[in-house]
Amino acid sequence: MNLRKRMVSPLPANTVGNLVWAFPVLIEESDIKLHEVVVKLRKGLTDFCNDKANRFKCEDGFAVVSEYHTKEAEFISRGVNIFRCTSLCKFPIYDMDFGWGKPTWVATSMGFKNFIVLIDSKLGENIEAWVTLAEQEMAIFQRDEMLLSFASLNPSAAVHESRM
């Protein structure tokens, strides 16, 4: 999540850096209903904003980071399957120019398993989801008929360029 606007007082909107945070939402397999996941995510976000976001600016900022990593290590040691999701939507990635002009298509190499990145398309009319899963789970994911009715797999930069 973008912590800039969640701190008191908010950091400037043009602050750049890797100040990123995750908050865990534990979901049992028998408990997977979309509306319940959304409720848990919203509660996790609210709890984080109320309890932790402002501690980054205080002397105990390192303690907050240590607490998180300790909790994550406990989950991993218990064999909990961790999925991470982040959104870069509304972040002005396509407006950035590092001297070569604005990008035609933004992409990343993701070396993580179970990771989802959401990003606005260049034209802003769609959202791209970059998804990495274990091989077996990815095979199931790519054949999901409901997903395929809303999405297309593996767009190319050429598609983005031709629509400009």
Q: Are 69 and 24 in contact (CB under 8 A)?
A: no
pTM above 0.75, yes or no: no
Question: Among the three residues 82, 112, 136, which one is the final residue of a domain in this structure?
Answer: 82
Taking only the tens place, the pLDDT of each residue in 91-125 is 888 888 889 998 888 877 667 788 888 888 887 77
The answer to whether residues 89 and 162 belong to one domain is: yes
The answer to whether residues 19 and 53 belong to one domain is: yes
Question: Among the three residues 24, 51, 82, which one is the final residue of a domain in this structure?
Answer: 82
The answer to whether residues 70 and 35 belong to one domain is: yes
Q: Are 120 and 89 in contact (CB under 8 A)?
A: yes
Counting the structural domains of the chain, the total is: 2
Mean pLDDT of the 136-147 span? 89
DSSP 119: E
Cα separation, 106 vs 16, in Å, equals: 17
The answer to whether residues 62 and 111 belong to one domain is: no
Mean pLDDT over each residue of the chain, to the nearest integer = 78
Q: Which domain holds residue 37?
A: 1-82
The answer to whether residues 98 and 44 belong to one domain is: no
Q: Are 20 and 56 in contact (CB under 8 A)?
A: no
